[in-house]
Amino acid sequence: MNPANLPFDSEAMLEGLRSWVECESPTWDANAVNRMLDIAARDMAIMGATIERIAGRQGFGGVIRARFPHPKQGEPGILIAGHMDTVHPVGTIEKLKWRREGNKCYGPGIYDMKGGNYLSLEAIRQLARAAFTTPLPITVLFTPDEEVGTPSTRDLIEAEAARNKYVLVPEPGRADNGVTTGRYAIARFNLEATGRPSHAGARLSAGRSAIREMARQILAIDAMTTDDCTFSVGVVHGGQWVNCVATTATGEALSMAKRQADLDRGVERMLALSGTTNDVTFKVTRGVTRPVWEPDAGTMALYEKARGIAKSLGTELPHASSGGGSDGNFTGAMGIPTLDGLGVRGGNGHTLEEFIEVDSLVERGRLMAGLLATLE
């Protein structure tokens, strides 16, 4: 089976993808994510998959597990793992409207990662239409919480990965048309400052501002960044009345490192910030963590398979480890051959200018089809 001969059509793929992108699905809106999962479940049911809905927990949406018909159903095969949540609140579609400009197409979540998820299903669809039976059975797992560190579904992802031989992750492709063969370690932290209230007009000096302490600590956290381990604060909330000295302020911080040992040291430094100064208590607690994924022989053999397919399609396929976490962190760290970054090319993810390169839908769709058709 030559994937170059499969009749992928970028315009038809865009038409199908549009309904996915215009169904906004921010992580924190479980109902919105579930609406998106409903659309994907229906599409896969039409393709002949057996659909299993797994209820969400911790306030997140649910999970869809789809198994496609195969004579070896139940044996270890290929897991395609993707997330359907995005960082864009409902209503973003009014600011980031679906629009096509030459080889670029814009929309919330189109790049991270609905485009990659959609082309993966199109690859399965094209193989089925060609009456081609893949050597291994295929399972698709779509999850609702990757953008916040996968707190509610990590166990499901790891359990499903353990039942399979390979994991393919259609997160966005690299700018150089490359794929991802490793991911940096990431830790999240919850920050809380607790001060002493007072009337900001009448008795300002009697108060102890939690906001002031949070601001001081944010600067200290940012200053901890080195080449080996980065630190940033991305969420801050504080105060309730402008005429009151703030009693509480909360925040969330992120740390990322290429090596697990560097992240472990970073975690120690963050936790050491906890304490009380000038009657204000600052507390750091550890949130969800993604382990470092360093490529092993199994992952590199999987990459070489993909590189050979890409070469047969007339393209180069470089690889590298990447910052920014994905659920590939978990499966790769488990030692299961994992290839990430198999999704679309594009850019400006997590912004109001998020786009994909339209021609990458077909190119990456053929690459995915080639992997599904040859992995054994």
Q: Which residues contact 266 (CB under 8 A, 6 or more apart)?
A: 187, 224, 229, 231, 255, 257
| 3-state SS assignment for residue 99 | strand
Count Cβ atoms below 10 Å from residue 97 Cβ, excluding itself. Answer: 11
pTM (two decimals): 0.93
Whole-number pLDDT of residue 83: 98
Of the candidates 145, 146, 340, 363, the residue annotated as catalytic is 146
- The percent of the chain in helix, strand and coil, each rounded to the nearest 5, is 35, 25, 40
Q: Which residues contact 247 (CB under 8 A, 6 or more apart)?
A: 194, 195, 196, 197, 210
Whole-number pLDDT of residue 238: 97
Strands (E), 224-354: 229-238, 248-257, 275-277, 280-290, 319-322, 338-339, 346-347
pLDDT tens column, 156-201: 999 999 999 999 999 999 999 999 999 999 999 999 999 999 999 9
pLDDT along the chain (376 residues), means of 10: 95 98 98 98 98 98 98 97 98 97 98 98 98 98 97 98 98 96 96 97 96 98 96 97 97 96 96 96 96 96 98 97 92 98 98 98 98 98
Sequence ranges of the domains in the chain = 3-184+292-373, 185-289
The CATH topology of domain 185-289 is Alpha-Beta Plaits (3.30.70)
Per the annotation, the verdict on 24 as an active-site residue is no
Which of 146, 208, 177 lies closest to 306, judged by CA?
177
For domain 3-184+292-373, give the CATH number: 3.40.630.10
Please give the span between the terminal C-alpha atoms of the chain, in angstroms, as a whole number. 14
Per the annotation, the verdict on 222 as an active-site residue is no
Of the candidates 29, 85, 357, 363, the residue annotated as catalytic is 85
Whole-number pLDDT of residue 324: 83
